[in-house]
Amino acid sequence: MASGIIKKPEPPIGRDYLSGMVRHSGSRGRGSFVEGLDTLYDTLMFLAELDFQELAPEGIPEHKRNAFFFTGYRYFTAALPSGRIAHTMVMALEQAQKAQHYIQKRAGLHGEELYLEVTGKDWSHTADQISLVVQKHPDGDFAATWYPGEFMAPLPESLPAAVADWKPHWPVKIIRGRTG
């Protein structure tokens, strides 16, 4: 595959799919979460109560639209309900640089990724919206993924070596460091 081409994500199936829908602070590898959603039932009830608005591709910034919108998927956002606290474990590169975080590059599960490591209690920042991706299917559409925070443009398969060539809208994962 040519450098810079984005691979279409493959959603999990069966038990992995259902367990992946539950995002909580103790779940490893799930990153972003909403406080108090620790079970599949709580998660499904929470998602069912949100007032989702479908995003039309033309309403999305071009750098996200061209890289993010895959055929066969629908994209939705909803405001986080009052009283809920959501944590997102990703931020735009520009935002991370303004906060003077040390950003590194590594091999991730889906190719190279940018990340920053934080320790202590301040290991995420809050989100005020929920994003939902629905995959179209002949037997009925289904939620492919959801998370607190805004849609982020995915990274290219291979990242440029020079930091100056990194794009300000690229996502940076926030990972919890070891605390000794």
Return the domain boundaries, the chain. Answer: 14-176
Instruction: Read off the pLDDT of residues 9-32 as tens digits, 9 standing for 90 and up.
Output: 454 455 555 666 676 555 554 578
**Inter-residue contact 93 to 43 (CB < 8 Å):** no
Least confident of 40-44, 63-67, 94-98, 168-172: 63-67
For residues 78 and 128, give the distance between their C-alpha atoms in angstroms, rounded to a whole number: 9
